[in-house]
Amino acid sequence: MKKVMAFKILLLVTISLTTIGCKRSSSSNSSRATGWDINSRDGGFQYNTQFKEQETAPGLVFVEGGTFTMGRVQDDVMHDWNNTPTQQHVQSFYMDETEVTNKMYMEYLDWLKRIYPPSEENYRAIYIGALPDTLVWRNRLGYNEVMTENYLRHPGYGEYPVVGVSWIQAVEFANWRTDRVNEMYLEEAGYITRDAKIASVEAGQTFNTDTYINAPTQVYGGNDSITSPQNTRRRVQTTASGDTINVYAGRETGIISPSYRLPTEAEWEYAALGLTELRSYNIYRGRKKYPWDGQYTRSGKRKVRGDQLANFKQGKGDYGGIAGWSDDGADITNQVKQYEPNDFGLYDMAGNVAEWVADVYRPIVDDEFNDFNYYRGNVYTKNAISEDGTVKIVTTDEIVFDTLPNGKVIARDLPGEIAQVPVDEDETYLRQNFDRSDNRNFRDGDKQSSRQYRESFSEEDGVTTETSMTSKMYNSPKHNIDVDDSTGALIREYDKSNKRTSLINDEVRVYKGGSWKDREYWLDPAQRRYFPQTMATDYIGFRCAMSRVGSKSKNKNKTKN
């Protein structure tokens, strides 16, 4: 009897130890690599083990990625031959529900004006460089002064898509938006003093996401009272000697969001098509000509049968129908969310305004080299390093201004940001996946794309050895701007050569979708057009996107049908 009892006790002890060991090995707060505790109050490795999935940032909707046929599904009546169908795959991402509106852009301008007052000479170009070009509404044989004076700022157009914004300005808006959203997230998580983003911010003391990650003590111009745990809602941590430790939120916390950016062309086209309504099990049955199902631009639903599904030019001299019976409810742009969204929940992916995307334009999509997250336009940079070995933070006295080809002046970096320099041999030596910083003209069909490109260039081609590393396939005009040393005035010189054969270069960007000024043909998401990245029009706007981190789908269970 005693032997049986002893055996039972031994068995229970063994089971208990095994259970404890299993729990310890499977616990999210212990390391599977070392067995050490994670997130211990005594210190050591800290990590967000409770992270579930990326939070949807303000204004965005989720777009689950996948494979699709990118390119035309109708006749190429324009004979551009620039959108031959290719099979591509895009990762899951987020995209703005609507185009960026005048009200959204005005918030950006208001912030710039408060932080960098244009009344101060050193900051004037920062605010002016961000202003949309309201003169895009002018027409030599039309009266549009009311739009020039009112469209951007009047509350009657507050929810209308912003226009007159160049590609460069759209990118700068996305960068600013990234910083403001992450600043809000860090404030909510208790890493930043509440309301400091408004009360304590001035030129040289702003928040920048990259600076916070790489040099957190330099954020807000080094004002550590904003990030100090004594002034926030975080628990104060101390060293063994009792000194306070200031803990910052890194990427590993899951608090900091990926950057807002312009969508790639592949992402935009995939999101615009909204192919989920054509899915049958694991295949798309059919193709789509528009963001909605069907071959026509009018609704077939009983209640709204015959209504136009987008805002576009109906015909010659017809931008919206007759009085009392408007076909699409608008004659110029229209308020966002006036037409039904597509299957991803995205509004106005056809019509209203065309939209900038991130890509540099080339007539071909090189699917032979890459068919995953396709994008042309990579320019790889790295953080500039100061003499003391720390990252170089731009100060108010070190703002560098660039003069664009059209004469406009913009700030290369704002105070508080980390200065960037091109990657060099430190990153490219013996590397296989890239070998230079600027890859905009990679494999675009020019001489440089051939294995013998060095032998192909000569002085007779009008290309020097120094410039032979840049593209010469596209013989675009080369205008020039100089600055008069005595007066500081800009001297604009036009390229008057009659030997130019193309407008394509590394500074032209793709824009997608139709607009209020376009006919039905351009509503097809596959259509491609291009425009200089420094210029703007009255029919091109933009929306932002954001990459998704973690799982491909929000639905953990595999869809059966």
Domains of the chain: which residue ranges? 51-78+86-189+255-374+506-554, 441-471
The listed range with the strongest mean pLDDT (5-19, 20-34, 295-309, 510-524) is 510-524
Q: Give every strand in the sheet of 354-360, ordered side by side.
A: 528-532, 508-512, 354-360, 540-541
What pLDDT, on the 0 to 100 scale, is given for residue 17? Answer: 52
65-111 pLDDT, tens digit each? 999 999 988 888 888 889 999 999 999 999 999 999 999 999 999 99
The 3-state secondary structure of 460-502, one letter per residue? HHCCCCHHHHCCCCCCCCCCEEEECCCCCCEEEECCCCCCCCC
Q: Which residue is associated with the tokens 């928040």?
A: 207
CA distance 502 to 269: 26
pLDDT of residue 232: 58
Rounded CA separation 360/507 (Å) = 7
Mean pLDDT of the chain: 87
Which of 123-132, 271-280, 317-326 shows the highest mean pLDDT?
A: 123-132
Structure tokens at 102: 């005048």
Q: Model confidence over 438-494: pLDDT tens digits? A: 999 999 876 666 655 444 444 444 444 444 444 456 778 888 877 777 777 778 777
Q: Count CA atoms within 13 Å of residue 337 on its CB side.
A: 9
Could you tell me the CA-to-CA distances from 22 to 13, 15, 89, 209, 498 in Å, in that order? 14, 10, 40, 40, 78
Confidence band of 304 (pLDDT split at 50, 70, 90): confident
Residue 492: its pLDDT value, please?
79
**Separation CA 97–CA 103 (nearest Å):** 15
Neighbours of 223 (CB within 10 A): 17
Q: Please give the C-alpha separations between residue 245 and each of 224, 248, 538, 550, in angstroms, as whole numbers.
A: 12, 10, 53, 31
451's CB contacts (< 8 A; 6+ apart) are none
| 51-78+86-189+255-374+506-554: CATH superfamily | paralog of FGE (formylglycine-generating enzyme) (3.90.1580.10)
Q: What mean pLDDT do residues 153-181 have?
A: 98
The yes-or-no verdict on residue 536 having pLDDT over 50 is: yes
- The pLDDT value recorded for residue 449 is 64
Give the contacts of 189 (CB within 8 A, at least 6 positions apart): 249, 253, 255
Q: Check residue 436 and give its pLDDT.
A: 92
Lowest-pLDDT range of 148-152, 370-374, 464-468: 464-468
Share of the chain above pLDDT 70, in %: 86
DSSP 433-457: S--SSB-TTTTSSSGGGSTTHHHH-
Distance (Å, whole) CA 312 – CA 337: 15
d(CA 212, CA 219): 6
User: What pLDDT was estimated at residue 461?
Assistant: 44
Q: Is the confidence at residue 524, as pLDDT, over 80?
A: yes
What pLDDT does 483 receive? Answer: 75
Assign 3-class secondary structure to 94-119: EEECCCCEHHHHHHHHHHHHHHCCCC
CA gap 102, 173 in Å, rounded = 12
The 10s digit of each residue's pLDDT in 56-74 is 999 999 999 999 999 988 8
276-288 average pLDDT score = 87
Determine the length of the chain.
561
Mean pLDDT confidence for 137-158? 97
SS (H, E, C) 113-149: HHHCCCCCCCCHHHHHHHCCCHHHHCECCECCHHHHH
Average pLDDT over residues 182-211: 88
Tell me the pLDDT band of 231, cut-offs 50, 70 and 90.
low
pLDDT of residue 244 exceeding 60, the answer is no
Asked if 459 contacts 467 with a C-beta cutoff of 8 angstroms, the reply is no
Q: How confident is the model at residue 383 (pLDDT cuts 50, 70, 90)?
A: very high
Q: State the pLDDT at residue 40.
A: 85
pLDDT digits (tens, 9 = 90+) for 414-435: 999 999 999 999 999 999 999 9
How many angstroms separate the Cα of 209 from the Cα of each of 188, 249, 251, 256? 15, 11, 11, 8
What is residue 418's DSSP assignment? B
> Looking at residue 74, what is its pLDDT?
81
Tell me which of 195-199, 228-232, 321-325, 481-485 is least confident.
228-232
Which one has a higher pLDDT value, 23 or 30? 30
CA angle 343, 175, 137 (to 5 degrees): 75
User: Per-residue pLDDT averaged across 209-237, rounded?
Assistant: 81
Residue 22 has pLDDT above 70, yes or no: no
Is the pLDDT at 380 greater than 80, yes or no? yes
Check residues 223 and 66 and name the one with the higher pLDDT.
66
Count of CB atoms within 10 A of residue 46's CB? Answer: 13
Distances (CA, A) of 6 to 15, 20, 194: 14, 21, 62
Give the per-residue pLDDT at 1: 54
Whole-angstrom CA distances from 247 to 40, 42, 221 are: 14, 14, 18
